[in-house]
């Protein structure tokens, strides 16, 4: 079966988003996939391999997803609202952004994983930045520093609010917080 590998990645991703990369174990994955623990090692010899591939896969899938939103015909503030909704939907399932979840445990990661993580963040920020470039052009957004810097700030805000709101306030608090920040960036 080719899709056992995908099932493993799916289960791993779900676990990472819910409980974090350190609390995600091969045992947990084997339980949900319905495969023995040793068999997972056949597909991903070391856990670091799994983490690396998870990061790469998410960079692609979420990158495509973000791009869909960013390339649309909406105004810049509307696009920011749609991007925030992606995070809000994750939160409603008690799930954190994978990059955000792994970032918090970055100190226990291998160097090569950290590099992929860094690249994923930069990739996301680059996509987000196009919205801020558009916003500056159409005068719908106002911010100091560069569009890249603003994109970094906005992405970081979404990651943090997802984390804090999961512990306190849930999607309601998240939604209001996003509203405030987008309003503040709006001209």
Partner DNA sequence: TTAAAAACCTACTAGTAGGTAGGGTAGGTG
Partner DNA sequence: CACCTACCCTACCTACTAGTAGGTTTTTAA
Residues that bind DNA (CB under 7 A): 1-2, 4-5, 24-28, 35-39, 41-43, 45-48
The residues that bridge with 186 in the sheet, in sequence order, are: 141
Q: Nearer Cβ to its own copies, position 4 or 123? A: 123
140 contacts 80 by C-beta, under 8 angstroms: no
- Judged by DSSP in three states, 141 sits in strand
Radius of gyration (Cα) for the chain, nearest Å? 18
Contacts of range 127-133, beta carbons closer than 8 Å, 24 or more positions apart: 127/63, 127/66, 127/67, 127/70, 127/151, 128/66, 128/70, 128/83, 128/152, 128/154, 128/155, 130/70, 131/70, 131/76, 131/79, 131/80, 131/83, 132/76
Could you say whether residue 144 binds its own copies (CB under 8 A)?
yes
Q: Closest approach of Cβ 165 to its own copies, in Å?
A: 7
> According to CB under 8 A, which one of 61, 67, 89, 94 is a site residue for its own copies?
94
Q: Nearer Cβ to DNA, position 10 or 48? A: 48
The footprint of its own copies on this chain (CB under 8 A) covers a number of residues equal to 54
Q: Nearer Cβ to DNA, position 27 or 144? A: 27
> According to CB under 8 A, which one of 32, 104, 110, 171 is a site residue for its own copies?
104
Residue 152 CB neighbour total at 10 angstroms? 20
Give which of DNA, its own copies, none residue 179 binds (C-beta under 5 to 8 Å, depending on kind).
its own copies
Instruction: Return the residue matching tokens 């950290």.
Output: 114
Residues 150-169, mask of contacts with its own copies (x by CB under 8 A): x-xx-xxxxxxxxxxxxxxx
Q: Which residues in this chain contact its own copies in the complex, by CB under 8 A?
A: 18-20, 22-23, 94, 96, 99-101, 103-108, 114, 117-118, 121-122, 142-145, 149-150, 152-153, 155-169, 173, 176-181, 183-185
């Amino acid at each position: 079966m080719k899709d056992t590998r995908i099932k493993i990645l799916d289960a791993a991703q779900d676990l990472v988003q819910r409980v974090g990369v350190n609390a995600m174990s091969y045992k947990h994955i084997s339980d949900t996939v319905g495969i023995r623990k040793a068999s997972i090692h056949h597909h991903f010899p070391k856990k670091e391999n799994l983490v690396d591939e998870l990061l790469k896969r998410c960079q692609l899938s979420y990158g495509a997803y973000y791009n869909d939103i960013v390339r649309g015909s909406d105004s810049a503030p509307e696009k920011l609202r749609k991007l925030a909704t992606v995070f809000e939907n994750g939160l409603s399932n008690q799930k954190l952004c994978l990059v955000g979840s792994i970032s918090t445990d970055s100190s226990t990661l291998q160097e090569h994983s950290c590099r992929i993580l860094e690249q994923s963040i930069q990739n996301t920020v680059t996509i987000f930045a196009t919205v801020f470039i558009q916003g500056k052009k159409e005068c719908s957004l106002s911010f100091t520093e560069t569009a890249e810097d603003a994109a970094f700030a906005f992405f970081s805000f979404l990651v943090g609010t997802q984390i804090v709101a999961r512990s306190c306030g849930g999607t309601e608090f998240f939604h209001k917080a996003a509203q405030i920040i987008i309003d503040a960036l709006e001209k």
